[in-house]
Structure 1
Amino acid sequence: MSNNTTEKKAVVFDLDGTLLYSLEDLKNATNYALKQNGMPERTLDEVRRFVGNGVKLLMERAVPDGADNPKFEKTFSDFKEYYEAHCNDNTAPYDGIMELLKELKLNGIKLAIVSNKLDPAVKELNQLYFKEYMTSAVGEMEEEGIRKKPAPDMVQKALKELQVSAEDAIYVGDSDVDIATAKNSGLECVSVTWGFRDVEFLKEHGATNLIDEPVELLNYV
């Protein structure tokens, strides 16, 4: 089943744009916060380009003048509060994801999520959708000294919880941040083409393994 010399024991997944289509809810939370603070709203396409580096950077990109805006902290706080309550209004797994996870589990592959999304939202969405498949779900927790992606810290935490070494795992994501994260963590990277970045962009940022359908991931384990 593998085109690698070694069989993999684990897969670490990004969440937004990889396992879950969540753009609509991120856009709604962004626009709610902007509107509350008298700022211009953003389009779905703008929000698509802003995501990937965590919600603080998403809001820095969405708010006029970013973090220098005197109302930034209030706007960011409004976003977090709204998103925590509405992170699952329009969010759903991509077609074929649940079948893929089932197949990986049947093959004894250990699974984890590593996301720059806020940790409570990651844990909540994992509970809702993936709890029977995931051993570990790690969200943004920089306050605890764990740097967010593309630093390797979150992946290392997940691998420790999976009890698997970097060479025995692959990393799956949809963005340039994910490609850099895999590289920094010493994991082989598989980039998905159904997420928030297009194929050309991924290739420009060093993507070498591209898949168009979730089932294709089985060729890499």
Structure 2
Amino acid sequence: MNDKWDTIIWDMDGTTLNTLDDLTVSMNYTLEMFNLAPHTVDEYRRVFGNGVRYAFEHIVPEGIEAELIDKMLPVYKEHYDEHCLDRTGPYDGIVDIMRELSCRGYKQAIVSNKIDSAVQELHERFFAGVVDVAIGERDGVKRKPAPDMVYEALKELGSTAAASVYIGDSEVDLATAKNAGLPSISVLWGFRDKGFLLEQGAVRFAESPTDIIELICSQSSVNS
């Protein structure tokens, strides 16, 4: 098996973009539209990463029927699509690192359980010309931690799992990387802390974006 990396698969929320405030506002807007109590940023931090339905299922009071969540999802989608850029931005140093990796010849993609329309808008706003492919939750592609999004990204990039590494901030990302057969790097500026990630089996950590450069280039097949 090739242990050299030339391709990077990035998570979005909590890894490349700090989306927490905009996600919280749209979630609370939706809850209030259905006469449900809002929640705090810290409460949401623990449930984001596995798709919006999962977030609603784990934040609404017990006993809420699935049919009500079905009605909430389009309300959330419409609000978030309109407001996903209000407070969201890249983590400090991330775009510079991505640009440097691109200049060094690495292929890059973003895969996210976020609604695909928002993923495309955010990709275009912050990462166009740097990250080649962006894939969000869409019909016909199973969301993470299934490996399907990763496989689709690798296909579009013309890359292989053997030459790729996955970078994320959550247990969902660790499971996604494992299911896709990729090694992973866990960032420590996102939605989960190091203790939790260690419990989930994380072995490589980046405390800052510059750590990513060091970890990746130590395994690089680019220009070698």
TM-score of the pair, normalised by structure 1: 0.94
Q: What is the rounded CA distance, in whole Å, between the counterparts of 2:99 and 2:77 in structure 1?
A: 32
- Provide Cα deviations, 1:105-141, integer angstroms capped at 9, x if missing partner: 1110000000000111101100000011111101011
Q: Give 1:168's aligned amino acid.
A: A
Could you tell me whether the CA contact under 8 Å between 1:59 and 1:66 is conserved in 2? no
Structure 1 position 210 matched with structure 2 position 205: yes
Of 169, 179, 183 in structure 2, the residue corresponding to residue 184 of structure 1 is 179
- Provide Cα deviations, 1:9-64, integer angstroms capped at 9, x if missing partner: 11000000000000000000000001111101111011101101011111122222
Q: What is the rounded CA distance, in whole Å, between the counterparts of 1:198 and 1:209 in structure 2?
A: 13
Matching residue of 1:36: 33
Q: Secondary structure at the match of 1:112?
A: strand
Of 83, 100, 103 in structure 1, the residue corresponding to residue 97 of structure 2 is 100
Q: What is the rounded CA distance, in whole Å, between the counterparts of 1:88 and 1:61 in structure 2?
A: 25
Cα separation, partners in 2 of 1:67 and 1:159, compared to 1, 3 Å:
farther
Q: What is the rounded CA distance, in whole Å, between the counterparts of 2:75 and 2:123 in structure 1?
A: 23
Matching residue of 1:201: 196
Q: CA deviation at 1:65?
A: 3.1
Write out aligned runs for 1:19-168 (5 A).
19-65=16-62, 68=65, 70-141=67-138, 143-144=139-140, 146-168=141-163
Gaps of 5+ in 1: none
Q: What is the rounded CA distance, in whole Å, between the counterparts of 1:86 and 1:73 in structure 2?
A: 21
Q: Secondary structure at the match of 2:87?
A: coil
Over the aligned positions, Cα root-mean-square deviation in angstroms equals: 1.3
Q: Give 1:205's aligned amino acid.
A: Q
- Provide Cα deviations, 1:136-192, integer angstroms capped at 9, x if missing partner: 101011x22x11101110000000011111010100000000001001101110000
Q: Give 1:155's aligned amino acid.
A: V
Q: Secondary structure at the match of 1:113?
A: strand
Q: What is the rounded CA distance, in whole Å, between the counterparts of 2:107 and 2:21 in structure 1?
A: 30
Matching residue of 2:15: 18
* Aligned length, in residue pairs: 215
Task: Point out the more displaced range, 84-93 or 59-68.
Answer: 59-68
Matching residue of 2:219: none
Cα separation, partners in 2 of 1:200 and 1:166, compared to 1, 3 Å:
same
Gaps of 5+ in 2: 217-224
Could you tell me whether the CA contact under 8 Å between 2:165 and 2:183 is conserved in 1? yes
Q: What is the rounded CA distance, in whole Å, between the counterparts of 2:81 and 2:146 in structure 1?
A: 25
TM-score of the pair, normalised by structure 2: 0.92
Q: Secondary structure at the match of 2:46?
A: helix
Could you tell me whether the CA contact under 8 Å between 2:53 and 2:69 is conserved in 1? no
Q: CA deviation at 1:72?
A: 2.2
Cα separation, partners in 2 of 1:149 and 1:67, compared to 1, 3 Å:
farther
